[in-house]
Amino acid sequence: NFDNQAGVVLSEKSLNGEFHVLFNMNEELHSFLSRHLFNPTIHHHSTSLIQSFINLKFDPINDVTDNSNKKDCFLDFNNDYITVVCLSDNQLLTANTFAETNFNNISYYVMGIWEKLGFDQNTDNLYISGKSDTKVCVVNELRNLIRNIEYIELKPGITLTDEQIANVPTDLIATLCV
Protein backbone atom coordinates (compact mmCIF):
# COMPACT_ATOMS: atom_id res chain seq x y z
CA ASN A 1 0.00 0.00 0.00
CA PHE A 2 1.73 3.08 -1.24
CA ASP A 3 -0.79 5.84 -0.69
CA ASN A 4 2.04 8.13 0.37
CA GLN A 5 5.17 8.22 -1.79
CA ALA A 6 7.42 9.26 1.11
CA GLY A 7 8.31 6.65 3.68
CA VAL A 8 10.01 3.33 4.16
CA VAL A 9 8.96 0.32 2.09
CA LEU A 10 8.77 -2.80 4.25
CA SER A 11 8.20 -6.46 3.42
CA GLU A 12 6.52 -9.08 5.55
CA LYS A 13 6.52 -12.79 4.77
CA SER A 14 3.50 -14.90 5.71
CA LEU A 15 3.94 -17.55 8.39
CA ASN A 16 4.02 -20.34 5.81
CA GLY A 17 6.18 -18.35 3.38
CA GLU A 18 3.61 -18.52 0.58
CA PHE A 19 3.34 -14.76 0.06
CA HIS A 20 4.97 -11.44 0.91
CA VAL A 21 3.19 -8.21 1.78
CA LEU A 22 4.90 -4.99 0.71
CA PHE A 23 3.80 -1.85 2.50
CA ASN A 24 4.80 1.72 3.11
CA MET A 25 5.38 3.16 6.58
CA ASN A 26 5.85 6.75 7.62
CA GLU A 27 9.60 7.37 7.82
CA GLU A 28 9.45 9.29 11.11
CA LEU A 29 7.36 6.57 12.77
CA HIS A 30 9.69 3.85 11.48
CA SER A 31 12.72 5.77 12.72
CA PHE A 32 11.12 6.30 16.14
CA LEU A 33 10.24 2.61 16.53
CA SER A 34 13.69 1.51 15.36
CA ARG A 35 15.43 3.84 17.83
CA HIS A 36 13.28 3.02 20.85
CA LEU A 37 12.57 -0.69 20.44
CA PHE A 38 15.18 -3.42 20.21
CA ASN A 39 14.92 -4.99 16.76
CA PRO A 40 11.19 -4.30 16.28
CA THR A 41 9.10 -6.60 14.12
CA ILE A 42 6.61 -4.54 12.17
CA HIS A 43 3.56 -6.28 10.75
CA HIS A 44 1.01 -5.10 8.23
CA HIS A 45 -2.62 -5.67 9.22
CA SER A 46 -3.40 -7.49 5.98
CA THR A 47 -0.90 -10.35 6.43
CA SER A 48 -2.93 -12.15 9.10
CA LEU A 49 -6.15 -11.21 7.32
CA ILE A 50 -4.97 -12.80 4.05
CA GLN A 51 -3.80 -15.93 5.88
CA SER A 52 -7.14 -16.21 7.72
CA PHE A 53 -9.08 -15.96 4.46
CA ILE A 54 -6.84 -18.62 2.88
CA ASN A 55 -7.41 -20.84 5.94
CA LEU A 56 -11.19 -20.32 5.69
CA LYS A 57 -11.16 -21.32 2.04
CA PHE A 58 -9.18 -24.51 2.57
CA ASP A 59 -10.26 -25.68 6.03
CA PRO A 60 -12.29 -28.86 5.38
CA ILE A 61 -14.11 -28.56 8.72
CA ASN A 62 -14.95 -24.84 8.77
CA ASP A 63 -14.89 -24.20 5.02
CA VAL A 64 -17.13 -21.21 4.32
CA THR A 65 -16.58 -21.35 0.59
CA ASP A 66 -18.11 -23.64 -1.96
CA ASN A 67 -14.98 -25.06 -3.59
CA SER A 68 -16.89 -25.87 -6.78
CA ASN A 69 -16.66 -22.12 -7.41
CA LYS A 70 -13.02 -21.58 -8.21
CA LYS A 71 -12.69 -17.88 -7.35
CA ASP A 72 -13.47 -16.14 -4.09
CA CYS A 73 -13.21 -12.48 -3.14
CA PHE A 74 -13.05 -11.35 0.48
CA LEU A 75 -13.94 -7.74 1.29
CA ASP A 76 -13.08 -6.55 4.80
CA PHE A 77 -14.40 -3.23 6.05
CA ASN A 78 -12.76 -1.00 8.61
CA ASN A 79 -13.88 2.54 9.42
CA ASP A 80 -10.86 4.05 7.64
CA TYR A 81 -9.97 1.53 4.97
CA ILE A 82 -11.09 -1.47 2.92
CA THR A 83 -9.08 -4.64 2.29
CA VAL A 84 -9.80 -6.80 -0.78
CA VAL A 85 -8.33 -10.32 -1.02
CA CYS A 86 -8.97 -12.50 -4.09
CA LEU A 87 -8.19 -16.22 -4.28
CA SER A 88 -8.43 -18.79 -7.03
CA ASP A 89 -8.07 -22.43 -6.04
CA ASN A 90 -5.03 -22.31 -3.74
CA GLN A 91 -3.50 -19.19 -5.29
CA LEU A 92 -3.56 -15.62 -4.01
CA LEU A 93 -4.56 -13.44 -6.97
CA THR A 94 -4.44 -10.03 -5.32
CA ALA A 95 -4.65 -8.31 -1.96
CA ASN A 96 -4.95 -4.59 -1.55
CA THR A 97 -5.89 -2.17 1.18
CA PHE A 98 -7.06 1.30 0.35
CA ALA A 99 -8.37 4.26 2.28
CA GLU A 100 -11.88 4.96 1.05
CA THR A 101 -15.22 5.70 2.68
CA ASN A 102 -17.34 6.63 -0.36
CA PHE A 103 -19.46 3.56 -1.09
CA ASN A 104 -19.69 4.34 -4.83
CA ASN A 105 -15.90 4.34 -5.12
CA ILE A 106 -15.62 1.10 -3.15
CA SER A 107 -18.18 -0.65 -5.36
CA TYR A 108 -16.46 0.65 -8.50
CA TYR A 109 -13.08 -0.57 -7.25
CA VAL A 110 -14.41 -4.05 -6.35
CA MET A 111 -16.10 -4.44 -9.73
CA GLY A 112 -12.89 -3.29 -11.46
CA ILE A 113 -10.96 -6.04 -9.68
CA TRP A 114 -13.59 -8.61 -10.66
CA GLU A 115 -13.36 -7.55 -14.30
CA LYS A 116 -9.54 -7.55 -14.40
CA LEU A 117 -9.27 -10.96 -12.70
CA GLY A 118 -12.01 -12.59 -14.77
CA PHE A 119 -14.44 -13.21 -11.93
CA ASP A 120 -17.92 -14.39 -12.92
CA GLN A 121 -20.69 -12.36 -11.27
CA ASN A 122 -23.06 -15.34 -11.46
CA THR A 123 -20.89 -18.11 -10.01
CA ASP A 124 -17.98 -16.66 -8.02
CA ASN A 125 -18.31 -15.60 -4.39
CA LEU A 126 -17.92 -12.35 -2.47
CA TYR A 127 -17.46 -12.69 1.29
CA ILE A 128 -17.98 -9.67 3.53
CA SER A 129 -16.40 -9.10 6.94
CA GLY A 130 -15.59 -6.24 9.27
CA LYS A 131 -17.60 -3.19 10.09
CA SER A 132 -18.01 0.40 9.02
CA ASP A 133 -20.71 2.91 8.31
CA THR A 134 -20.42 2.39 4.54
CA LYS A 135 -20.66 -1.43 4.55
CA VAL A 136 -24.45 -1.63 4.21
CA CYS A 137 -24.51 0.83 1.28
CA VAL A 138 -21.69 -1.00 -0.53
CA VAL A 139 -23.25 -4.44 -0.04
CA ASN A 140 -26.65 -3.18 -1.21
CA GLU A 141 -25.07 -1.79 -4.37
CA LEU A 142 -22.97 -4.92 -5.00
CA ARG A 143 -26.03 -7.18 -4.58
CA ASN A 144 -27.33 -5.65 -7.82
CA LEU A 145 -24.16 -6.81 -9.59
CA ILE A 146 -22.93 -9.98 -7.83
CA ARG A 147 -25.12 -13.00 -7.23
CA ASN A 148 -23.27 -14.81 -4.40
CA ILE A 149 -22.61 -12.49 -1.45
CA GLU A 150 -22.25 -13.82 2.09
CA TYR A 151 -21.22 -12.39 5.43
CA ILE A 152 -18.46 -14.23 7.29
CA GLU A 153 -17.11 -13.94 10.80
CA LEU A 154 -13.64 -15.08 11.78
CA LYS A 155 -13.57 -17.38 14.79
CA PRO A 156 -10.45 -16.96 16.97
CA GLY A 157 -9.09 -19.80 19.05
CA ILE A 158 -9.86 -17.86 22.23
CA THR A 159 -13.13 -16.88 23.84
CA LEU A 160 -14.28 -13.32 23.18
CA THR A 161 -17.47 -11.73 24.40
CA ASP A 162 -20.00 -10.50 21.85
CA GLU A 163 -19.04 -6.94 22.78
CA GLN A 164 -15.35 -7.63 22.18
CA ILE A 165 -16.08 -9.26 18.83
CA ALA A 166 -18.22 -6.27 17.84
CA ASN A 167 -15.49 -3.76 18.76
CA VAL A 168 -12.29 -5.52 17.72
CA PRO A 169 -11.20 -4.93 14.10
CA THR A 170 -11.21 -7.99 11.85
CA ASP A 171 -7.44 -7.87 11.31
CA LEU A 172 -6.83 -8.25 15.07
CA ILE A 173 -9.28 -11.14 15.25
CA ALA A 174 -7.48 -12.64 12.24
CA THR A 175 -4.19 -12.41 14.14
CA LEU A 176 -5.77 -14.53 16.89
CA CYS A 177 -6.93 -17.06 14.25
CA VAL A 178 -3.58 -17.60 12.53
Q: How does residue 1 score in pLDDT terms, banded at 50, 70 and 90?
A: very low
Q: Comparing 26 with 117, which gets the higher pLDDT?
A: 117
Neighbours of 14 (CB within 10 A): 16
Q: How does residue 30 score in pLDDT terms, banded at 50, 70 and 90?
A: confident
What pTM was estimated for this model as a whole? 0.77
**Residue partners of 68: CB distance under 8 A and separation at least 6:** none
What is the helix (H) or strand (E) element at residue 40, kind and residue range? none
The pLDDT of residue 62 is: 52
Q: Report the amino acid identity of residue 9.
A: V
Question: In this predicted model, what pLDDT tens digit does every residue of 83-139 receive, in sequence order?
Answer: 999 998 778 899 998 888 788 889 999 999 999 999 999 999 999 988 766 788 889
151-155, 166-170, 172-176: segment of lowest average pLDDT: 172-176
Q: Which structural domains are found in the chain, ordered by start?
A: 45-177 (3.30.420.260)
CA dihedral sign of residues 40, 45, 46, 49: positive
Burial (0-12, 13-18, 19+ Cβ within 10 Å), 72: buried
Q: How does residue 4 score in pLDDT terms, banded at 50, 70 and 90?
A: low
Q: How does residue 167 score in pLDDT terms, banded at 50, 70 and 90?
A: low
Question: In this predicted model, what pLDDT tens digit does every residue of 42-94 receive, in sequence order?
Answer: 888 788 788 877 777 766 555 555 555 579 999 998 878 899 999 987 788 99
What is the distance between the alpha carbons of residues 74 and 126, in angstroms, rounded to a whole number? 6
The pLDDT of residue 121 is: 93
Mean pLDDT of 142-149: 93
